[in-house]
Amino acid sequence: METTTLPRPPRVGLVSLGCPKALVDSERIITKLRADGYQMSPDYAGADVVLVNTCGFLDSAKEESLEAIGEAIAENGRVVVTGCMGNEADVIRKRFPDVLAITGPQQYEEVVSAVHEAAPPAPSPYLDLVPEAG
Amino acid sequence: MKISEGCNHRCSFCIIPSIRGDLVSRRPDAILREAEKLIEAGTKELLVISQDTSAYGVDIRHQPRMWKGEEVRAHMTDLSRELGKLGAWVRLHYVYPYPHVDQVIPLMAEGLVLPYLDIPFQHASPKVLRSMKRPANEAKVLERLRSWRLIVPDMAVRSSFVVGFPGETEEDFQYLLTWLEEAQLDRVGAFKFEPVSGAAANTLPDPVPEEVKQERYDRVMEISARISAEKLAAKVGKTIEVLIDRVDEVPPPEEGADRGHFDAPHPQHHHGIGATGRSKADAPEIDGEVHLRDAGHLSPGDIVSVKVEDSDEHDLFGVPA
């Protein structure tokens, strides 16, 4: 019997920094990504893209955010940045020119579409409501 | 549960409004629906968060919405009451001491809302609070704390403070220390003032030298740790409700050895297996914990009665009652 394999869903790693408000933002982003067919990866190695939700409050917190971005770049390489430090895109770009995209706090649509660009879900005629051609 | 986004205040040390904008409140029915779904899915505790929980609904003029056949205003009091009716623990964070916070205290007495308030006071000296541009700073906070505790004697208050704010004199700082002795807060966090790029406070005169900040920080933490330890010690011997967060898989080696259980634990054999939870006075990750012994029969999410046997500066130790 012929068997059909569904495409492996893309996997997203998430590093969530900062306050509980930022944590809720991370949860909302995860909800949207899961609804779009993504799976979460608990480690850098298994992730197709790593999302870093940053804190931009105290300078010490910004430094921690930059370190987390650096770690994600070193461990995975494909990194999307979001959250409160996303308002300082130039600072992030200067230190990490390889970051794929930078979005700000509460920009759920922007960050989700950045993930879609970085790790597009493979088309599947069994899952997609609309054929690839549109 | 985030009930609103942004903040209408312009505290001089804070840049969050420039990052997240002015207050935008969610509809009360949307929040309640989310809460109901979470509880149906097994959530035992709702942490209400925002930048300023007491200001909830100000931007939408507290407009009421229908919820279960009744109108619920977009107001902290209405929302807290309705959240409380759903049956989970409801914990209020980031509450500023506006006068209407008084209306939430009876909900605690009724058991609808946890007897817990997280109020970031930041300072006590009126001069420093003015310079910080803190909202509701003229409220007679000590008197109100006393009146709240008359209604809810076991209320836990957590707060955070900034030391070394520009212009803070030794006299201002002494005012804070005396205030802390009076206020008897259960949990206190402190931060040394740090200029944040873009914050108005950066240009204030009379910055406090780093070593003075450190010294003041140490003194605040010393007093707070003592008060916290005294308040926790007063709970020893009492029976409290604890929400279990995690259960150990095996007995801790030295305790297991003490009680003579060297073998792998049998499911029925819960002696020697520990668990960790929180009382109504402990918010996850920021407050203390309750460490249980002989608790292997429990599961995360259980709410159990615990006899408190011991305490330290931050945590309680006990056994299922």
B5 touching A, CB under 8 A? yes
Q: Average pLDDT over chain B, rounded to whole?
A: 92
- Per-residue pLDDT at B268: 47
Report the topology of domain A11-117.
Rossmann fold (3.40.50)
Residues of B in contact with A24 (CB under 8 A): 1-2, 49
Domains and CATH numbers, chain B: 4-233 (3.80.30.20), 239-320 (2.40.50.140)
User: Poorest-confidence range of A1-10, B139-148, B150-159, B227-236?
Assistant: A1-10
Model confidence over A31-64: pLDDT tens digits?
Answer: 999 999 899 999 999 999 999 999 998 888 999 9
Strands (E), chain B: 4-5, 24-25, 45-48, 65-67, 70-72, 89-92, 116-118, 156-163, 187-192, 239-247, 275-279, 290-292, 303-311, 316-320
Give just the sign of the alpha carbon dihedral B46, B24, B160, B101. negative
- Per-residue pLDDT at B230: 97
Reported ipTM: the value is 0.79
pLDDT at B255 over 60: no
Q: Average pLDDT over chain A, rounded to whole?
A: 92
pLDDT at B256 over 60: no
Contact state of B196 with A87 under an 8 Å Cβ cutoff: no
C-alpha distance from residue B212 to each of A54, A77, B69, B130 (Å): 31, 43, 58, 21
Model confidence over B165-201: pLDDT tens digits?
Answer: 999 999 999 999 999 999 999 999 999 999 888 899 9
Model confidence over B82-120: pLDDT tens digits?
Answer: 999 999 999 999 999 888 999 999 999 999 999 999 999
Entry pTM: 0.87
Interface test with A, best of B2, B13, B43, B93 (most A CBs within 10 A): B2
Give the confidence band of A118 by pLDDT, cuts at 50, 70, 90: very high
Model confidence over B36-46: pLDDT tens digits?
Answer: 999 999 999 99
Residues of B in contact with A54 (CB under 8 A): none
User: What residue spans define the domains of chain A?
Assistant: 11-117
